[in-house]
Chain A
């Protein structure tokens, strides 16, 4: 399990968005592992992440990420 602070924050926003236990989320977690994570819910997640990080995620990249770890990498790169 990583101690990376960016990942930790992403993990908590994902957990809040989908109402699940943060401990169940790893960098390898994909949308298919989380109940209710569809493209409409993904939009809520993006808004949640943008507000938590104070950053704007480019739309075309917001849907390219394959798992939670990649989402953290994307936020780190912005």
Chain B
């Protein structure tokens, strides 16, 4: 970064006719970014760690490089309201391109790139379907991805903007300064089958509202340092580790997700070295750290204010294992916290209280299983443990609903329904799906749970959504893919989830019927590779059965629940 660029960023950041007094609330994410660049130009916004090297980005550099992107996008015909897709590998361009598109008043959306392990054909077919629906004006990507577009998706070649094509200096360019805070700031695509991904529309106002309440709830401020490996195309990564720090003026240290999986201790090294204070992780990541970090490695992690468990069911056993493994590094029970969050509410719906350990509720197992009602378990009774997700964040209301009652009593299990000022504006170009989930201002989450002493506890799902490693997959979408595999009797398969205590997440098992005895031994491999290619999901095991073996409901439909019980019973018999 040259001084000239820094100067131009500073000039742009403080237009003379709009002095932006310090105490004025910002109305858009762009204003927040400009303000930090003007007031603390040399403060570090982000450090991107890749292969042992660190690339640092100050707030001034963030604005300056974002401006280059904005200008380039404008030059390529992008205007306010246009969607720009960002497919990048790990590095500062993730942040600068995203912010650049927002500066322009256009709508950025992160998407993952095809990994070498993925079946290229399927990745591209499904992404092309998704592009066709979203109709991006531009796709920002890394130079090496151009040849993949040329081979697999030539229709979009003329819409590519490569990271090495940017003009060097942010020459004169007038950014829209009076943007309406109710314009859509970005699209967040939920995981699942690529072509069916729903783009959650979030406006500047809802994002700022969420950040101000959530940051207030956490006491998160400019002195905080977030350490993360989370991909930014996921809502937890996008909001907790990019947007909230950016709006508040904090600092992030971001690791490459692929590097982290293989070397999870790098996250702890970074926390120690950068004196990080916050880290958001899905439940499995706590297990992964406890299992894979070499036993002879020790750390000093007392700078941490909280590790926040989020985006898949949080397990008390996982916290216990993690805390025991890293107690010598200074990890206490109080540092392990929980949030219930979703892109449809920008991010957090609830958050536990950072000043004390999370509440743990021991409920009577039979009342819960048989009646869906919570009673505190007697000392010796057969019980089931639930970890609290905390109370609702300010400006968000929660009620628990059943098909015939809008609001259940404390301790009754039903669907979690939410409303508040952070709620999304709908799914992009999917009005029917928006109407089915967003009714009279309430978002129907599909999650099951209950309220207890003012705090939310999540118990499961109303539909067939399966959460694996913090990402969402629908069983019926997996089944559609399996059903189309040659040799599988169409419609004669189920996808079920089985919890893994060791991994701290769910595993997906596919059970299917075939008439092709000769081809049967090859079916598991084919099924696993098809599902991985289509959804990025690795099926743990494929059970191949003879025709008529899978259990059916009384109405003759193949039952996930009955087959799940059969699978678990067989496992129990084996053990």
A residues whose Cβ falls under 8 Å from a Cβ of B? 30-33, 35-44, 46-47, 51, 59-60, 62-64
Contacts and interface: CB of A to CB of B under 8 A. Distances in A.
A64 B262 CA distance: 13
21 contacts: A31-B538, A32-B524, A32-B529, A33-B524, A33-B525, A36-B507, A39-B261, A39-B538, A40-B288, A40-B469, A43-B264, A44-B291, A44-B292, A46-B262, A47-B292, A47-B294, A59-B259, A59-B263, A62-B262, A63-B117, A63-B258
B540 A38 contact: yes
Contacts of A63: 116-117, 258, 262
A65 B264 CA distance: 20
Given A36-B540, A43-B263, A63-B117, 9 more contacts: A37-B538, A38-B538, A40-B503, A42-B262, A43-B292, A46-B262, A47-B294, A59-B263, A63-B116
Contacts of B288: 40, 43
Nearest to A62: B262
B528 A32 contact: yes
Nearest to B540: A36
B289 to A, nearest CB: 11
B529 A40 contact: no
Interface size class of B (residues with CB under 8 A): 20 to 34
A76 B538 CA distance: 28
B540 A35 contact: yes
Contacts of A32: 524-525, 528-529, 532
Contacts of A51: 294
Interface string B114-129: 0011000000000000
A43 B262 contact: yes
B284 interface: yes
Contacts of B294: 47, 51
Nearest to B263: A59
A59 B262 contact: yes
Contacts of A40: 261, 284, 288, 469, 503
Contacts of B528: 32
Interface string B328-354: 000000000000000000000000000
B549 interface: no
Interface-central residue, A30, A40, A42, A43, by most chain B CB under 10 Å: A40
B298 interface: no
Contacts of A33: 524-525
A63 B116 CA distance: 9
User: When A and B form their complex, which 6 residue pairs have the shortest distance between CB atoms, in order from nearest?
Assistant: A38-B538, A35-B541, A32-B528, A32-B525, A43-B262, A36-B540
Contacts of B284: 40
B116 A64 contact: yes
Contact of A43 (B261, B538, B541): B261
Contacts of A44: 291-292
A55 to B, nearest CB: 14
Nearest to A38: B538
Contacts of A62: 262
Contacts of B525: 30, 32-33
Nearest to A64: B116
Contacts of B529: 32
Interface string B521-549: 00011001100100000101100000000
Nearest to B291: A44
B498 to A, nearest CB: 11
Contacts of A36: 507, 540-541
Contacts of A31: 538
B538 to A, nearest CB: 4
Interface-central residue, B264, B291, B294, B538, by most chain A CB under 10 Å: B538
